[in-house]
Structure 1
Amino acid sequence: MPKTTQLRTYTVRDGLLDEWVQRWREEIVPLRLELGFTIGGAWSDPEHNQFIWLISYDGPETFGERNALYWSSPERKAIGLNPDDYLVRTEERTVETVY
């Protein structure tokens, strides 16, 4: 399968952006990396309560299949992090590298 990259923009509940970033870094990133994803960068936009990041997968499965594995994994369930507790809105775009 070809490499797939998603640009994800999350609008975070008022007052929770710093906590979301900390939990994302400490809990989500290690598991994503363990499962073969790569993180192309992450940015915080406090003025708009937004968190933006790039996530890619380049492996034998599709991005969707690998993402489903992430969500169904016992490790993800053990984190106990419900995105709905932090995120008001999520936007995911599949993007292609042009430069």
Structure 2
Amino acid sequence: MAKTTQLRTYVVRDGLLDAWVQRWQADIVPLRLELGFEIGGAWVDRERNQFVWLISYDGPETFADRNALYWASPARKAMKLDPDDYLVSTDDRTVEERY
């Protein structure tokens, strides 16, 4: 499979941006890395209350298949992290690197 990269933009609930970033760093990132994903960076846009990050997968499965494995994993369930508690909306875009 070819490498797939997604640009993810999340609008975070008022007052929860820093709490979301802490949960993302502590819980989501380690599991994503363990499952073979790469994190290309993450940014906070405080003016728009947004969290933006790049996630890639370059392995034998499709990004969608590997993402489904992430969501179904016992470790993900053990997080007891419901994104809806933090996020108002999400926009996930598959992008192609050019530089």
Name the amino acid aligned to 2:46: P
Q: How many residues align?
A: 99
**What's the counterpart of residue 81 of structure 2?**
81
**What's the counterpart of residue 48 of structure 1?**
48
| SS of residue in 1 equivalent to 2:26 | helix
Q: Deviations over 1:22-48 (max 9, x none)?
A: 000000000000000000000011111
Flag structure 1 segments of 5+ consecutive residues without an equivalent: none
| SS of residue in 2 equivalent to 1:47 | coil
Q: Deviations over 1:38-91 (max 9, x none)?
A: 000000111111000000000000000000000000000000000000000100
| SS of residue in 2 equivalent to 1:21 | helix
State the 4+ residue runs in structure 1 displaced beyond 3 angstroms: none
Name the amino acid aligned to 1:92: D
Larger helix proportion of the pair: 1
Percent of aligned positions with the same letter in both sequences?
77
TM-score normalised to the size of structure 2?
0.99
Q: Distance in 2 between matches of 1:98 and 1:70?
A: 27
| SS of residue in 2 equivalent to 1:51 | strand
Name the amino acid aligned to 2:88: V
Tell me if 1:23 matches 2:18.
no
Q: CA RMSD in A?
A: 0.3
**What's the counterpart of residue 98 of structure 2?**
98
Q: Distance in 2 between matches of 1:80 and 1:30?
A: 15
